[in-house]
Amino acid sequence: MINNFWKQKVRGKDISIDKIQWKKNEGSSDLILLSQLQCGKSAKVIELQGNPAQKDKLQSMGIYVGAVILKKSAMPSKGPIIIEKGAMQFALGYDIAKKIVVKAL
């Protein structure tokens, strides 16, 4: 229902925002979203997507472009994702994790 609300018309076709954001990374097969990274893997943050308030919140937690993070765990069915940055651990919502583009290390 919400996904239908956020659809945009591109060349006469309905394309959801998730697909538009992912197309930027199609040429780089090694770039994935944080929500898709396997648990226990480290990754380097490549891009923060979303509105400025979300980017500022992530940067205040130390999650910025170039930072190395570790995905500790994820709850099934799009629940919170636990990440580690240095000595700190954070719980991120699934929707925020979908807006962080990373490169697995």
pLDDT in tens, the chain (105 residues): 344 444 444 444 544 444 445 445 444 568 999 999 999 999 999 999 989 999 999 999 899 999 999 999 888 788 899 999 989 999 999 999 999 999 999
Radius of gyration, CA atoms only, the chain? 14
Cβ atoms of 78 and 70 within 8 Å: the answer is no
Q: Give domain limits for the chain.
A: 28-104
Paired sense of beta strands 68-74 and 42-48, if any? antiparallel
Q: What is the DSSP letter of 4?
A: H
pTM over 0.75: no
The CATH architecture one would assign to domain 28-104 is Roll (2.30)
Within 13 A of 52's CA, how many CA atoms are on the CB side? 0
* Residue 2, phi then psi, degrees to nearest 5: -65, -40
